[in-house]
Amino acid sequence: MRTSEKTSINHKTYTLKNWQGGYQSLKQEYDYWVEDIEGTIPPELTGTLFRNGPGLLDINGQRIHHPFDGDGMISKITFTDGRVHFRNRFVHTEGYLAEQKAGKILYRGVFGTQKPGGWLANMFDFQLKNIANTNVIYWGGKLLALWEAAEPHQLDPHTLATLGKEYFQGVLSTGEAFAAHPHIDPACVFDQGKPCLVNFAIKPGLATTITIFEVDTTGKIIRKHAHSVPGFCFIHDFAITENYCIFFQNPVLFNPLPFVLGIRGAGECVKFQPHQPTKAIVISRHPQKQPIQTLEIPSGFVFHHANAYEDNGEIIVDSICYANLPEVKPNSDFLQTDFDTLPPGQLWRFHLNLATKTVKRQLIESRCCEFPCLHPDKVGRNYRYVYMGAAAQNQGNAPLQAIVKIDLTTGEKLLWSAAPQGFTGEPIFVPRPSGEEEDDGWILGLVYDSEHHRSDVVILNAKDFTLQAKLHLRHHIPYGLHGNFVKETFI
Ligand code: CO
């Protein structure tokens, strides 16, 4: 026993203590030119990487229960003339301002953060905090911080100051959701080939309403249609093709009673149903309504899809699947996560045959991975390369410490690892301006360096995964969620 225990310890590419360092709050807001640089910043790399994620893991020392409940903090990394500028600001949501003023937790979080005072203080309190912490996009001349259960917050792209909530000229109503996972169709067939941003909203209940939004390049919602789906839906992301939106309805049950009684957060009342299938819901993007198509897939849980495309009557969907949903338990401490007990996220390819209503699937990558990305011109199209955050070890669940590239045509894989001290997250692919091949460009990533308790911006050559440059920030950035790169600079 002892030997095998020792072996498994020796095989770990991380220590929990090092990983935990990336979950400390960053309270300070910075604004500076990055001067501590290893390597060379590619001179053609111009633009802005915006990232969002929970910046505060505590309110004045009171720890929040789950990072998903942390206040949104935007990082803005500007690449211009071979130099790099960093700036970060918190999104000034009503909840952030009220809690900072009070110096304590005032709101219940979806993932279990409770107000102090026990269940009595939390009972029948449905006032959730719009924490704007999941994604940030620049579209239609506006910078928007997104959180899936409520309206976006608009920010000034130069200063990151919060300007207010965004309602798209009144098309969105007060409190209406606008998900955190928009996808940009690079050449929309309904808009004479112009790009179009496609997003959705979920209104859960016994039956769930899925609303689809399509936003043109001026920031105007030009198509909005709602669809009712039987059952409760826990849907975080979706995939688009030229003609369809695809949602995976994870097999979960929602028991609202503990939430209503104030014992648990809403996210803790979701229970995975391993004996029920996952459902693929296919909704046409065509403005004239067509019936929803539903296909059954073996049971599994999906947060993120890599991409989808249409191919000879089939829809191909590439998604990161877990064998089950890790439950958020009321008395658990996320900092003590036992990764060995969790299923790994693995990349699967699903072939949805709309004529026969059957689904075939194949495993593409068994190594634990998350946060897929691709060339922006390939969204909704047949594509060759996918990039993901990945574990440094090739089996089981573990923190993300590497970035992996997969050639979906040849199966060839490249891995860049920051282990044992470094921890990665979502990679972003930036095409080289003059580039023609799908992998001609760079991968940008934020890496938490636990040895120095600071974060690095890393730039990899996307073709061969060689490290081009490592930009040492003066501080750490807590593990983030999603972000986007735009060609514009706002200095
Ligand atoms: Co996400």
The CA-atom distances, in angstroms, between 412 and each of 361, 378, 442 are: 19, 19, 18
Q: How far does residue 47's CA lie from ligand 1's centre (Å)? A: 23
The CA-atom distances, in angstroms, between 399 and each of 14, 38, 391 are: 8, 25, 6
Q: How far does residue 482's CA lie from ligand 1's centre (Å)? A: 6
Q: How far does residue 372's CA lie from ligand 1's centre (Å)? A: 10
Q: How far does residue 121's CA lie from ligand 1's centre (Å)? A: 31
Which residue stretches of the chain have pLDDT < 50?
A: 1-9
Structure tokens, 134: 């999941």
Distance CA 254, CA 183 (A): 28
Residue 271 maps to a domain: yes
User: Which alpha helices (H) appear in 167-261, and where do they start and end?
Assistant: 257-260
What's the structural domain count of the chain? 1
Distance CA 439, CA 429 (A): 9
Q: How far does residue 249's CA lie from ligand 1's centre (Å)? A: 15
CB 223 within 8 A of CB 213: yes
Q: How far does residue 2's CA lie from ligand 1's centre (Å)? A: 39
Q: How far does residue 50's CA lie from ligand 1's centre (Å)? A: 15
Distance CA 467, CA 454 (A): 18
Q: How far does residue 305's CA lie from ligand 1's centre (Å)? A: 9
Q: How far does residue 481's CA lie from ligand 1's centre (Å)? A: 7
Q: How far does residue 236's CA lie from ligand 1's centre (Å)? A: 6
Q: How far does residue 304's CA lie from ligand 1's centre (Å)? A: 6
Give me the domain span that covers residue 327.
Answer: 2-486
Q: How far does residue 390's CA lie from ligand 1's centre (Å)? A: 15
Distance CA 369, CA 203 (A): 29
What's the pLDDT at 256? 66
Q: How far does residue 4's CA lie from ligand 1's centre (Å)? A: 36
> Chain-centre distance of CA 482, in angstroms?
4
Type of residue numbered 85: H
Whichever domain contains 80, its CATH number is 2.120.10.30
Residue 452 maps to a domain: yes
Q: How far does residue 479's CA lie from ligand 1's centre (Å)? A: 13
3-state helix, strand, coil in the chain (%, to 5): 10, 40, 50
Residue 118 maps to a domain: yes
Q: How far does residue 134's CA lie from ligand 1's centre (Å)? A: 7
What's the pLDDT at 254? 72
Q: How far does residue 148's CA lie from ligand 1's centre (Å)? A: 9
Contacts by 117-120, CB closer than 8 A, 24 or more apart: 118/262, 119/261, 119/262, 119/263, 120/262
Q: How far does residue 153's CA lie from ligand 1's centre (Å)? A: 17
CA-CA-CA-CA torsion sign (387, 389, 393, 396): negative
CA-CA-CA-CA torsion sign (461, 467, 471, 472): positive
Residue 334 maps to a domain: yes
Q: How far does residue 420's CA lie from ligand 1's centre (Å)? A: 25
Residue 384 maps to a domain: yes
Place of tokens 């199209």: 381
What's the pLDDT at 333? 87
Residue 70 maps to a domain: yes
Q: What are residue 79's DSSP bridge partners?
A: 47, 84
Structure tokens, 338: 């036992």
Q: pLDDT digits over 138-167, tens only? A: 999 999 999 998 999 999 999 999 999 999
What's the pLDDT at 326? 65
Q: How far does residue 120's CA lie from ligand 1's centre (Å)? A: 32
Q: How far does residue 261's CA lie from ligand 1's centre (Å)? A: 29
What's the pLDDT at 1? 34
Q: How far does residue 300's CA lie from ligand 1's centre (Å)? A: 17
Residue 491 maps to a domain: no
Q: How far does residue 426's CA lie from ligand 1's centre (Å)? A: 10
What's the pLDDT at 122? 53
Q: How far does residue 320's CA lie from ligand 1's centre (Å)? A: 11
What's the pLDDT at 196? 98
